[in-house]
Amino acid sequence: MAEELVVGSNATPASSGVKNYLYVTLFQAIGTANGVTKFYLYGAGSGNVKVAVYSDNAGAIGSRLAYNDTGQAVVSGWNELSVSSVNITSGTNYFLIGVSDVDNIIGRDTSGGTSKYRLAGGDGYSTWAWSDPIGGDAFNSSSALYAYYLLGETGSLLIPAAHYYMN
33-66: pLDDT as tens digits: 888 888 888 888 899 999 999 999 988 889 999 9
Helix (H, G, I), strand (E, B) or coil at 127: helix
Pick the CATH number of 3-162 from 3.30.420, 2.60.40, 2.60.120, 2.70.98: 2.60.120
38-71 per-residue burial string, b: 16 or more CB within 10 A, e: under 16:
ebbbbbbeebbbbbbbbbbeeeebbebbbbbeeb
Task: Classify burial at 29, counting beta carbons within 10 Å of its beta carbon; exposed 0-12, middle 13-18, buried 19 or more.
Answer: buried
Q: To 10 degrees, the CA torsion angle through 129, 137, 121, 88? A: 30
Residue pLDDT, tens place only, 109-143: 665 555 666 778 777 888 888 888 887 777 766 65
Answer whether 165's CB lies under 8 Å from 117's CB: yes
Answer whether 106's CB lies under 8 Å from 47's CB: no
User: Is this prediction's pTM over 0.75?
Assistant: yes
